[in-house]
Chain A
Amino acid sequence: MQLNQPDAPPLRKLGRVAAGLSMLSANLLGASAALAQNDSDGEPQIALMKEPAPGPETFVYDASVLFYKESGSRVQAIEPVFTIQNYQADGSIISGSFTFDSLTGATPNGATPSTLDQTFNSIVREKTTSTQVTSTGASGGGTVTTIPGTAYAKSTYSVPANTLPLASFHDHRFAGTGGYSWLTNPDTRLNAGLGASVERDYTSFTGNFGIARDLNQKNTTLSLAINLEEDISRPYNGTPAPFEDLNSQIGGGHDTRTTYGVLAGVSQTLTRFWITQINLNLSGSKGYQSDPYRVLSVVDPTSGGPLNYLFENRPRNRTRESAYWGNKLALGPTVADVSVRYYHDTWGINSLTTEVSEQVPLGGSVYIKPLYRHYHQSAANFFAYYLVSSSALPAFASSDSRLSRFSADTIGGKIGVRVFKTGEFYIEGESYRQTGARTVAGAPGQLSGLDLFSGVHATSVMTGLRLRM
């Protein structure tokens, strides 16, 4: 917070708003042409990595798009995002963002592979015709038949032997946020924000409020923020009852989840070249936390073959706490970003995340930024790849790989190029790979030889244009 200098001179503004908006639309294709324009304009250009933080009476626009793809014909996503920030003369900041997600592909349905073909039936909410059901069901992509005398239809799809069962889906998401931040005195800043995210089967509303106080000639900033989130889940198949049989489930209405969070943080300038930050985050959520489309296989204790499939059941309460330590270090002309996060929750997941990147200038108009991130988590105490028919049902169980023990490594790099005098064109590519145990010790029969881990390998490209006016 202390890096924002209200009295810093504003950057040179571009003359016309219309020109700026047309530049935004040029995003990808116009980058190289814009670079050429810089040289023809006689005014000095601020080196990209020496550019000051935005000052008063400045607009910052950021228009970008994410292309995301998981290997194995799983999830693909395209996500355009547009954000705007208006730094006003009195030190206040108005901000907003709009996000659109388009997702297609397939995701694990939670069942184990089998040495035989498997067939899954899922109930999807009927609209007016079965054709529409085919295009909306999260488990869509199979054969859809109406169920006479009910308001529902049944989707049936088959999975080949020795293959991780995937359910195809497609969905869209619209999300928007708005925020306002203002100074109550030169050393105290308040901020408030609202957000909403809407999918066909899920709606989320968020609100947050925070205060930040500068101390010690703005070398220290103490901050406290609270947030509230209300989620409404409306599965196509209705919310299944805990451990309800996949084939018998019809309807169930919607369910909700409420999350409260508080974050206390301190950031401290240590030297001219080093600023550090520590955050403590505590949050609690109550309500529906299961995945309404995810099942577990109930297997034979001897053969390991699937006998039936039950919907998962997770605890309705979860408390999370995390400690985050971040650093920005100017090392000569470069800037290093080094952070560590420790996380713990009441489901039994502990995780450690380390991340490092180094922003290196290549002349005044270009920089590169290689990055590496390592993540490791332990399993939730109710995680199970499968249930055994001869054993009593546990209180809770889920086969979601996100609740399993695994590690993940991200390797990537970003390139930023100065365009339009006060703009930056950027592109970042990343590889994200999860690794975990593929077999379970003592697994019955056929399961001892099958790959049960459903972690992902994803590649993503993010590109955009950031403009100041």
Chain B
Amino acid sequence: MIRKIVLALGLTLLGGCAHVGVKPWQRDILARNAMALDSDGNIGGYHDHIYFSKEGATGGRSASGGGCGCN
């Protein structure tokens, strides 16, 4: 089920990709570090580690595994 939903969303998104977005000279705001999808640095790693060690679910943001015996 989840795969079908994501596939549908992905195809819809890709289909519209050619018509959305910005020109290279319009990237002033998007080029800021604060707008990066992974701008949290070490803090993001701490969050992943805490949640991985205390919850049953994991993954989603990146492909890397947990790598510790805490779960």
Cβ–Cβ contact B26 & A272, under 8 A: yes
Whole-angstrom CA separation of A199 from B59 in the bound complex:
22
Residues of B within 8 A of A263 (CB): 59, 62-63
A387 interfacial by beta-carbon distance below 8 Å: no
Residues of B within 8 A of A323 (CB): 2, 5-6, 60
Cβ–Cβ contact B18 & A216, under 8 A: yes
Q: Mark B48-63, 1 if CB is under 8 A from A, else 0.
A: 0111001111111111
A210 to B, closest residue via Cβ: B63
Cβ–Cβ contact A324 & B60, under 8 A: yes
Q: Mark A2-15, 1 if CB is under 8 A from B, else 0.
A: 01010010000000
Interchain nearest-CB distance for B3 vs A (Å): 7
Partner of B30, one of A101, A196, A275: A275
The listed residue with most A CB atoms (<10 A of its CB), out of B10, B24, B50, is B50
Cβ–Cβ contact B20 & A268, under 8 A: yes
Cβ–Cβ contact B27 & A402, under 8 A: no
Q: Mark A103-147, 1 if CB is under 8 A from B, else 0.
A: 000000000000000000000000000000000000000000000
Cβ–Cβ contact A5 & B42, under 8 A: no
* B-contacting residues, A415-468, CB 8 Å: 426, 428, 432, 434, 456, 458, 460, 462, 464, 466
Given the known A-B contacts A283-B59, A322-B57, A460-B46, are A49 and B34 also in contact in the complex, defined by CB atoms under 8 Å?
A: yes
B26 to A, closest residue via Cβ: A272
Whole-angstrom CA separation of A101 from B32 in the bound complex:
32
Given the known A-B contacts A83-B42, A322-B59, are A359 and B34 also in contact in the complex, defined by CB atoms under 8 Å?
A: yes
Partner of A220, one of B3, B17, B45: B17
A351 to B, closest residue via Cβ: B57
A-B pairs with beta carbons under 8 A, tally: 228
Interchain nearest-CB distance for A151 vs B (Å): 23
Cβ–Cβ contact A281 & B63, under 8 A: yes
* B-contacting residues, A347-372, CB 8 Å: 347, 349, 351, 353, 359
Residues of B within 8 A of A377 (CB): 55-57
Residues of A within 8 A of B56 (CB): 345, 347, 349, 351, 377, 380, 402-403
Cβ–Cβ contact B69 & A202, under 8 A: yes
Residues of B within 8 A of A81 (CB): 42, 45-46
Cβ–Cβ contact B33 & A51, under 8 A: yes
Interchain nearest-CB distance for B51 vs A (Å): 7
Cβ–Cβ contact A464 & B42, under 8 A: yes
Q: What is the interface size of chain A, counting residues whose CB is below 8 A from a CB of the partner? A: 100
A278 interfacial by beta-carbon distance below 8 Å: yes
Partner of A414, one of B9, B43, B71: B43
A23 interfacial by beta-carbon distance below 8 Å: no
Binds B, one of A86-94, A224-232, A389-397: A224-232
Cβ–Cβ contact A269 & B2, under 8 A: no
Cβ–Cβ contact A277 & B21, under 8 A: no
Whole-angstrom CA separation of A414 from B43 in the bound complex:
10
Residues of A within 8 A of B34 (CB): 49-51, 335, 359
* A-contacting residues, B5-33, CB 8 Å: 5-6, 9-10, 13-14, 17-18, 20-24, 26-33
Residues of A within 8 A of B6 (CB): 278, 280, 323
Partner of B21, one of A68, A173, A210, A217: A217
A313 interfacial by beta-carbon distance below 8 Å: no
Partner of A195, one of B10, B31, B67: B67
Cβ–Cβ contact B29 & A273, under 8 A: yes
Partner of A217, one of B2, B24, B55: B24
Partner of B41, one of A62, A273, A335: A62
Interchain nearest-CB distance for A178 vs B (Å): 13
A388 interfacial by beta-carbon distance below 8 Å: no
Whole-angstrom CA separation of A173 from B71 in the bound complex:
14
Cβ–Cβ contact B63 & A8, under 8 A: no
Cβ–Cβ contact B43 & A175, under 8 A: no
Whole-angstrom CA separation of A66 from B43 in the bound complex:
9
Cβ–Cβ contact B59 & A326, under 8 A: no
Residues of A within 8 A of B41 (CB): 62, 64, 83, 464, 466
Given the known A-B contacts A81-B42, A464-B42, are A343 and B13 also in contact in the complex, defined by CB atoms under 8 Å?
A: no
Whole-angstrom CA separation of A246 from B64 in the bound complex:
35
Partner of A173, one of B10, B36, B61, B68: B68
Binding site for A on B (CB under 8 A): 2-3, 5-6, 9-10, 13-14, 17-18, 20-24, 26-37, 41-43, 45-46, 49-51, 54-69, 71
Closest 4 CB pairs of A and B: A219-B21, A202-B69, A324-B60, A263-B63
